[in-house]
Chain A
């Protein structure tokens, strides 16, 4: 049900921006979603179909850029891909890290007519 709330917000944001631009139809919505958020794209598409019915966003394509989790080692400052169940830095073996990517959850742009 997490996705329902998120989809509703995507829809609201899209319609607000489209109206401001005086658009008649929304063709595409470009989303950036971090993998760590756990948001399932198929699920968002499914809900969007229901929510957008009868609106100018009906039939819009949802495009997802999924961002894999990435961390920065706080010991050697190098970036590395965060692996499941192993959070040590592959460069220096340090375990103090800062998550720098993978938590994104935003609407990048919309394409309207």
Chain B
């Protein structure tokens, strides 16, 4: 006997992600899912963001790593609450891991939750976590062909940050090529060139973030 199923394989993850989002909304916390390759500068971006938002938004961080708590320790020094998730080998965070971590995040004390996903451009695209916005951090040494290789990730991003712009003189990186490819499949995403080292574009990034938070608040009010 054949039974028609027609069910999304990741449907269970979507349901938990939706629960996470409702919890965050109840507590008035805006969450972003920060995704990138290993070494693109996720942790550096978080550190810069914490500095720039001091006095403007209270931040909490969930650090997703395959193993170790190095990143959590680095971010923890900035005096913000940090929860480490070690995926124990898994290459992405899923909604259930985040649900468990949320139990330990002081949601009453924060307005912005940055979820640093595991460094990987494939799997995290498929797993919603309950975030309000997806942030994709690319970097110039990775090459301008990344959108062609990881279209799902670039298609779903709400903002594409291009980090390490200070290295541009040393690289064959055509920002127009990358931007055109992103624009082709994703008209809505903002594309912001940045450098966590020189501070280029960080102000624009933080302004984008604050605008998204404000829009969300207004919608809920």
Task: Show the binding face of A for B, using Cβ within 8 Å.
Answer: 1-2, 4-6, 9-10, 12-14, 17-18, 21, 23, 31, 36-38, 69, 71, 82, 84-85, 87, 95-99, 103, 105-113
Determine whether the beta carbon of A107 is less than 8 Å from that of B9.
Answer: yes
Within the assembled complex, what's the spacing in Å between the Cα atoms of A18 and B2? 10
Closest chain A CB from B182 CB (angstroms): 10
Q: How large is the interface on B (under 10, 10 to 19, 20 to 34, 35 or more residues)?
A: 20 to 34
CB distance from A102 to the nearest CB of B (A): 8
Whether, in the assembled complex, B191 has its beta carbon less than 8 Å from a beta carbon of chain A, the answer is no
Q: Which residues of A contact B185 (CB under 8 A)?
A: 71, 87, 97-99
Contact partner, B5, options A13, A82, A103, Cβ 8 Å: A13
Whether A87 and B181, one on each chain, are in contact in the complex, defined by CB atoms closer than 8 angstroms, is yes
Judge if B52 is at the interface, Cβ distance under 8 Å.
no
One of A37, A71, A106, A112 near B126 (C-beta < 8 A): A37
B118 to chain A: closest CB distance in Å? 10
| Contact present for A110 and B3 (CB under 8 Å) | yes
Specify the main secondary structure of chain A where it touches its partner. Answer: mixed
Within 8 A of A (CB), among B1-25: 1-13
Q: Which of B85-93, B100-108, B199-207 contacts A (4 or more CB under 8 A)?
A: B85-93
B residues 147-195 near A (Cβ < 8 Å) are 148, 151-152, 155, 180-181, 183-185, 187
Nearest CB of chain B from residue A25's CB, rounded to whole Å: 11
Given known A9-B12, A36-B151, contact A97–B184 (CB-CB < 8 A): yes
Asked if B151 and A110 sit within 8 Å, CB to CB, the answer is no
Residue pair B94, A5 in contact (C-beta under 8 Å): yes
B47 within 8 Å of A (CB atoms):
no
Q: How far is the CA of A34 from the CA of B93 in the complex (A)?
A: 21
Q: A13-B7, A13-B9 are in contact. Are A2 and B122 (CB under 8 A)?
A: yes
Shortest distance between the CB of A6 and any CB in chain B (Å): 6
The residue on B at minimum CB distance from A106 is B8
Q: A105-B126, A111-B1 are in contact. Are A96 and B184 (CB under 8 A)?
A: yes
Please determine whether B10 and A36 come into contact, CB atoms closer than 8 angstroms.
no
Please name all residues of chain A whose beta carbon is closer than 8 Å to the beta carbon of B92 when the two chains form the complex.
1-2, 5
| Inter-chain pairs besides A10-B9, A105-B126, A109-B2, 19 sampled, C-beta below 8 Å | A1-B123, A2-B92, A2-B123, A5-B92, A6-B9, A6-B10, A9-B12, A13-B5, A13-B7, A18-B3, A95-B180, A95-B183, A99-B151, A105-B9, A106-B8, A109-B3, A109-B4, A109-B5, A110-B2
